[in-house]
Amino acid sequence: MSESPNTPKLSVIGGRPVRPDGVDKVTGRALFGADFAVAGQLCGRVLRSPHAHAKIISIDTRKAKALAGVKAVVTGADFPNLKSEVHEGGESSSDLRDLAMNVIAREKALYEGHAVAAVAAISPKIAEEALRLISVTYEALPHVLEVEAAMAADAPILHDHMRTGGVKPAPTTASNVAKRHIFERGDLSQGFADADVTYEGRYTTQAVHQGYIEPHACVAQWGEDGQCDVWCSSQGHFMIRAYCAKILNLPLSDVRVTPLEIGGGFGGKTTVYLEPLALALSRQSGRPVKMVMTRDEVFRATGPTSGAAMTVRLGAKRDGTLTAAKVELKFQAGAFPGSPVGAACMTALACYDVPNFEVLGWDVVTNTPKVAAYRAPGAPIVAFAVESAMDELARQLKIDPIELRLKNAVRDGVIAAYGPKYRNIGYVETLEALKASDHYKAPLGPNQGRGFAVGFWFNIGGESTASVHISEDGGATVTTGSPDIGGSRASMQMMAAETLGLPVERVRAKIADTASIGFSNVTGGSRTTFATGLAVIEACRKIIADATRRAVGTWGVEADKVVWTHGQVELLDGSKPPLTLADLAKESGKTGGPMSAEVALNAQGAGPGFGAHLCDLEVDPETGHVSVVRYTAAQDVGRAIHPAYVEGQIQGGVAQGLGWALNEAYLFDRDGRMENPGFLDYRMPVASDLPMIDTILVEVQNPRHPFGAKGVGETPIVPPLAAAANAVRSATGLRLNDLPLAPPVILAASDLAKAAE
């Protein structure tokens, strides 16, 4: 919407060219994780714990190994015992010891589905038979699933060695609390004392899964010479390389990981599950091993995000000015530490300029699958709590909810609740754009309500490598190490075409394996278009400098007599025809060799994302069924490189957020076994559940990116949980603080409310 006066006219950026990955995906040519095969591969399968918490007394694999067709059987004993060591992985960090123990259990199984052994055999049938022949002696232990139960003094302890971090003095007794986080500013008591109105609520959310359609899959080959190959779908093949190498004690350069197409990740494919098992099975068998999870395994053994219990207390002046906020977050980490509660604490008040606050977070292990990153990790959970509370505050104050946000909105120059000073943020513009929308003024029908909520995500930069190669006919190939999850091939192609002055179809964007391109962090943190894009643009600029140098040499003129413009080098005096990239590429052998540039960088200044959402929904008073009838998401996207993908990102985030709000949840039986590990019982929204999601792209450009891009992919999932809950409140008068807002919950609350009338 706003346009920097310094921006040159763009001819490619902001257009909507045909998506470069589209034909591949709709015709089935794209090779996803399970589509890849190599000759002689074995079929790998995993034996998983039936217990939510158990000591592993012994594992007898002799019968399985003796079965004809079984080529390898591995258990935890086949893997090195790693020291506790934090590995920074871009968006998230992992303790390598925990990571390895999650890949395959050692002394204890910590959740139902925890890998205990793995086999490789010549057929799936034999592999499954071999699993049945493995005899594991367990000593079942009491388990704990819920976060607050796990924090109780008498809770079963998952890790005897674990002491709560971030607490002084350091505790001397074991606890399920892995870490305490605190962010504070000002004087909280004074803040609440200054308030004319306060509101406090307690909120819970359930564990939900990222729900990517493609299950985890890989093929791994361990060479007799120790050279390993892995082919898999992930959010980052360098991450796969690093984790496999660490878990198996290999040099990084001995592992080559080739990325396959990824069928959804949403953060859940930023870690390893099968790959180290497949490598270990390949080492033992001398054969390549392919492993593909079932949906059941994906649910039971891969990362959902945390279930949480939260309290929010807000204090405000009569005019709406916030004086104090107190937020306490208790997050399930699953079987090993590392819930997103730290990020949740940081985002809790990121939209608010509030002088006095305390945000306290608890990272708590539970006998559930280790959580993994899920799109804006932690932020939707805490936003559900804070934005629900803000909605009630607005009601108490009788202030329009958008006005209340505007009143307390962070702006450029404000110190964010999580530390840095905001610059070039588009939050107010986003609020105003939504306020000005038709949707905000539209009337509601019977049983309908309208909810409003805002959301924030940091967006990150990080390390990326890109190379650009000009072929002899003047076309360009742009190669990166970033898997394309949400359209990065399109954005790389467009940024390169814009920079080089080429038509977009003369640029092809490719993703190279770990041996063919420099290190690149995972595609996550909404970093790719920003950070990998910067590397692409820098590499294109190197090409331009090189092209200009070659033209200067060809013409035999001074460097200051030529200029690069519109994809060609021109003589300022116009005395000769310009030299296009194609002209120069054709002669490149004579002017120094191929035209090629590679740039590796650690990008900074991604620019945070702010979103503001309106949700209209209708509640059926008979059944409690909620239908979303209209939804508008406004977001500051910096600059939409390919607006259709940006809109798609926003629509996808909203869809996931609404699923989380309305239906999704892990359900466990009394033994801690998941009861709904399939898409029939774990209810994600499908196309027919949702209306068209309208989007408003607000473009407050990011000066740290040549085309003004900010991250866009995560922010859209942050507001919908609260927007939906606030809309149910608007439709029904019921303030529901426990997700999901499934029909039985709504009916029960409605009945209770009626009974109380």
Is residue 39 a contact residue for its own copies (CB under 8 A)?
yes
**C-beta of 212: minimal distance to its own copies in Å?**
21
233: which 2 tokens? 């779908």
Q: Is the CB of 154 or the CB of 224 nearer to its own copies?
A: 224
Among candidates 654, 661, 659, 630, which has minimal Cα distance to 712? 654
| 325 C-beta neighbours (distance < 10 Å), count | 29
User: Between 450 and 469, how does the x/- string for binding to its own copies read (CB under 8 A)?
Assistant: ------------xxxx-x-x
Burial of 417 (0-12, 13-18, 19+ CB in 10 A): buried
Under rule CB under 8 A, which residues in 270-289 are in contact with its own copies?
286
Cβ(482)–Cβ(523) under 8 Å? yes
Residue 495 sits at the vertex; the CA angle it makes with 493 and 501, to the nearest 5 degrees, is 95
Cβ(338)–Cβ(417) under 8 Å? no
**C-beta of 31: minimal distance to its own copies in Å?**
8
**C-beta of 468: minimal distance to its own copies in Å?**
9
Binder of its own copies out of 274, 349, 512, 722 (CB under 8 A) = 512
21 residue type, one letter: D
Q: How far apart are CA 643 and CA 639, in angstroms?
A: 9
Q: Is the CB of 149 or the CB of 250 nearer to its own copies?
A: 250
Is residue 589 a contact residue for its own copies (CB under 8 A)?
yes
Count of residues near its own copies by CB under 8 A: 68
Q: Is the CB of 23 or the CB of 752 nearer to its own copies?
A: 23
**DSSP SS3 for 480:** strand
Is residue 559 a contact residue for its own copies (CB under 8 A)?
no
Binder of its own copies out of 190, 448, 471, 750 (CB under 8 A) = 471
Binder of its own copies out of 602, 678, 733, 752 (CB under 8 A) = 602
Q: Is the CB of 126 or the CB of 507 nearer to its own copies?
A: 507
* Half-sphere exposure (Cβ direction) of 240: Cα atoms closer than 13 Å: 37
**DSSP SS3 for 128:** helix
**Candidate ranges 419-427, 504-512, 559-567, 740-748; the one touching its own copies (CB under 8 A):** 504-512
Is residue 551 a contact residue for its own copies (CB under 8 A)?
no
Q: Is the CB of 31 or the CB of 122 nearer to its own copies?
A: 31
User: Between 175 and 214, how does the x/- string for binding to its own copies read (CB under 8 A)?
Assistant: ----------------------------------------
Is residue 506 a contact residue for its own copies (CB under 8 A)?
yes
Q: How far apart are CA 154 and CA 679, in angstroms?
A: 35
Length of the chain: 757
Q: Is the CB of 37 or the CB of 667 nearer to its own copies?
A: 37
**C-beta of 543: minimal distance to its own copies in Å?**
11
| 3-state SS string for 235-250 | CCHHHHHHHHHHHHCC
Cβ(218)–Cβ(258) under 8 Å? no
Q: How far apart are CA 276 and CA 249, in angstroms?
A: 11
Cβ(468)–Cβ(534) under 8 Å? no
Q: Is the CB of 600 or the CB of 629 nearer to its own copies?
A: 600
**DSSP SS3 for 189:** helix
Under rule CB under 8 A, which residues in 65-124 are in contact with its own copies?
88
**C-beta of 125: minimal distance to its own copies in Å?**
22
Q: How far apart are CA 31 and CA 17, in angstroms?
A: 23
Cβ(130)–Cβ(119) under 8 Å? yes
Contact residues toward its own copies (CB under 8 A) are 18, 20, 22-24, 27, 29, 31, 35, 37-39, 88, 221, 223-225, 227, 241-242, 245, 251-254, 256, 286, 462-465, 467, 469, 471-473, 475-477, 479, 505-508, 510, 512-520, 588-590, 592-598, 600-603
